[in-house]
């Protein structure tokens, strides 16, 4: 009886501190007075993003660079919401994808239509990077294919296009209509992997960018756009209209970049990254004339590159913050499901349904919902994915409590809250902890997906490795994430053993 009537420890202060820290995360993620620069998830955009970031930092401007955030839709939404201030874009993409215009628009016309959106395009960098279709030169020669219209004669050709190209108005849907192409729905493939798939004969036709460095290396025949479907894609900066006023020095530096990168120079920059496996930051520094120390190569050097500490901290933040929130919400939900029979199934089904949503789809949905990119939508997604194991194990742990023990406590006159705190939860603790362990390990792996929206972590290396088809960089991201998952699993094993000894 004395044991049961001991006062419960008051954890309300700790809970308030944790909740306050979680509430402040969006503010910590985007500091005021810091220029937010983004880039898309392909080689050229990585390089241009680094050039912008280094040019701005050289003026003394504080910069946060969000590399490889995703496709046009994600970057545009991030720009509109103020999550980023500027990113490299292309005039044809702005016209077709953002402004949904079929008519060709020059820079003045683009800006006239962007003004109501609070956006501006400017600082033409000096090159046109058009979409194109390519085949192995040997295959194109054998079939006599030189133009895109020639593809209509070969309906069985296997097409492999990037996922963004498959959905863009100036991509496959419009191209199929303009040329009357009879091929089946193309295979969706990451742009960085498409060249290898073409080389191995897994696909026959891919989409490419006219400044891709691998066109010559892989002996690819670029098919002529004989019906002039693709618009002009001049490289340009797309930014919030108020950004030049807030960061005048940085935008003055950007203006000096105008006209300094022609098509051949951009091809060479892409080749340095893709073919010579030089880090994007180094490629940008070389272009800007900065002295760069030689970088060691190999898996070991890639694993413990200078960004290792930053990526580790970011990955741990994603996992720990989302897990803490999931525990704070999941355990009470599990208790509710265990104590109130009529809500048990709705709670378990609702948390289970979240697991069926693809991670990238959930992240894409959360960006417009939260009005930002990076840390905040990533944390919400990881929180939702972590709920099911915690809720289900809490519910299962309470259900396994011997009914006789609970009835004996009631016969002694103990209140339901005391029974829960002193009997049921302690007996269910190992089961609950197993659920938390499962969520933690799952979140370590799932957190790598957050890099697709600029949330950082080891997934950043994986995304860049995919863009470059660089196995070493892929492993440099995957191995630390796997090691972190094993470390988290081992930590929870120790906690479970300590809990077992203390009982």
Q: Which two tokens stand for residue 490?
A: 């081992």
pLDDT tens readout for residues 286-320: 999 987 766 677 888 889 988 899 999 999 999 99
Report the distance separating Cα 330 and Cα 454, nearest Å.
27
What CATH number was assigned to the domain covering residues 12-24+306-501?
1.10.3720.10
Does the pLDDT at position 24 exceed 50?
Answer: no
pLDDT confidence of 6, banded at 50, 70, 90? very low
The one-character DSSP state at 42 is S
Q: What is the pLDDT averaged over residues 328-348?
A: 92
Report the distance separating Cα 61 and Cα 451, nearest Å.
24
Which residues, at least 6 apart from 114, have a Cβ–Cβ distance to it below 8 Å? 94, 98, 99, 120, 121, 238, 241
Q: Which two tokens stand for residue 229?
A: 């479907």
Q: Looking at 156-160, 411-415, 440-444, which range is the least confident one?
A: 411-415
pLDDT confidence of 112, banded at 50, 70, 90? very high
Report the distance separating Cα 269 and Cα 440, nearest Å.
40
Residue 21 pLDDT? 44
pLDDT tens readout for residues 341-385: 899 999 999 999 988 888 878 887 887 788 777 788 899 999 999
pLDDT tens readout for residues 431-488: 999 999 999 999 999 999 888 877 889 999 998 888 777 889 899 999 999 999 999 9
Report the distance separating Cα 342 and Cα 354, nearest Å.
20
Report the distance separating Cα 448 and Cα 355, nearest Å.
16
Report the distance separating Cα 139 and Cα 172, nearest Å.
21
Residue 31 pLDDT? 53
Intervals of CATH 3.40.190.10 along the chain: 32-128+233-295
The domain covering 32-128+233-295 belongs, at the CATH homologous superfamily level, to: Periplasmic binding protein-like II (3.40.190.10)
The one-character DSSP state at 126 is S
pLDDT confidence of 28, banded at 50, 70, 90? very low
Of 265, 269, 260, 233, the closest CA to residue 121 belongs to 233
What CATH number was assigned to the domain covering residues 131-223?
3.40.190.120
Report the distance separating Cα 276 and Cα 222, nearest Å.
23
Does the pLDDT at position 68 exceed 60?
Answer: yes
pLDDT confidence of 204, banded at 50, 70, 90? very high
Intervals of CATH 3.40.190.120 along the chain: 131-223
């Amino acid at each position: 009886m004395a044991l049961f009537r001991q006062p419960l420890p008051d954890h309300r202060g700790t809970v308030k501190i944790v909740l306050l820290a979680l509430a402040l995360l969006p503010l910590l993620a985007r500091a005021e007075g810091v220029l937010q620069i983004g880039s898309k998830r392909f080689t050229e955009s990585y390089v241009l993003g680094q050039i912008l970031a280094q040019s701005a930092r050289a003026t003394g401007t504080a910069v946060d660079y969000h590399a490889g955030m995703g496709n046009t839709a994600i970057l545009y939404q991030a720009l509109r919401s103020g999550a980023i201030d500027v990113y490299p874009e292309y005039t044809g993409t702005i016209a077709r994808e953002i402004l949904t215009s079929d008519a060709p628009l020059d820079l003045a016309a683009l800006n006239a239509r962007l003004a109501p959106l609070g956006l501006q395009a400017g600082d033409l960098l000096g090159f046109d990077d058009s979409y194109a279709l390519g085949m192995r030169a040997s295959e194109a020669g054998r079939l006599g294919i030189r133009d895109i219209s020639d593809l209509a004669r070969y309906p069985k050709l296997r097409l492999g296009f990037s996922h963004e190209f498959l959905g863009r108005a100036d991509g496959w849907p419009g191209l199929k209509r303009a040329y009357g192409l009879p091929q089946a729905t193309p295979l969706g493939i990451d742009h960085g992997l498409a060249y290898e798939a073409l080389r191995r004969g897994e696909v026959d036709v891919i989409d490419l960018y006219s400044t891709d460095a691998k066109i010559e290396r892989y002996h690819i025949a670029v098919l002529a756009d004989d019906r002039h479907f693709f618009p002009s894609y001049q490289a340009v900066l797309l930014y919030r209209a108020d950004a030049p006023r807030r960061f005048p020095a940085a935008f003055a530096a950007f203006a000096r970049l105008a006209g300094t990168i022609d098509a051949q120079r951009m091809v060479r920059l892409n080749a340095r990254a893709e073919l010579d496996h030089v880090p994007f930051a180094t490629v940008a520094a070389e272009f800007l004339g900065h002295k760069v120390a030689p970088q060691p190569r190999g898996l070991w050097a890639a694993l413990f590159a200078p960004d290792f500490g930053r990526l580790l901290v970011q990955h741990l933040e994603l996992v720990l913050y989302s897990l803490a929130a999931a525990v704070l919400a999941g355990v009470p939900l599990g208790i509710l499901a265990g104590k109130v029979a009529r809500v048990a199934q709705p709670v378990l089904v609702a948390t289970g349904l979240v697991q069926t949503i693809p991670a990238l789809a959930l992240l894409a949905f959360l960006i417009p919902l939260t009005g930002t990119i990076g840390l905040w939508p990533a944390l919400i997604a990881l929180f939702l994915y972590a709920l099911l194991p915690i809720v289900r194990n809490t519910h299962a742990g309470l259900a396994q409590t011997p009914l006789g023990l609970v009835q004996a406590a009631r016969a002694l006159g103990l209140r339901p809250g005391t029974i829960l705190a002193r009997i049921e939860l302690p007996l269910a603790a190992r089961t609950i902890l197993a659920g938390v362990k499962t969520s933690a390990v799952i979140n370590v792996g799932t957190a790598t997906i957050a890099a697709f929206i600029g949330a950082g972590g080891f997934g950043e290396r994986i995304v860049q490795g995919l863009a470059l088809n660089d196995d070493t960089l892929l492993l440099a991201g995957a191995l630390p994430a796997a090691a972190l998952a094993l470390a988290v699993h081992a930590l929870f094993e120790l906690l479970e053993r300590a809990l077992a000894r203390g009982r």
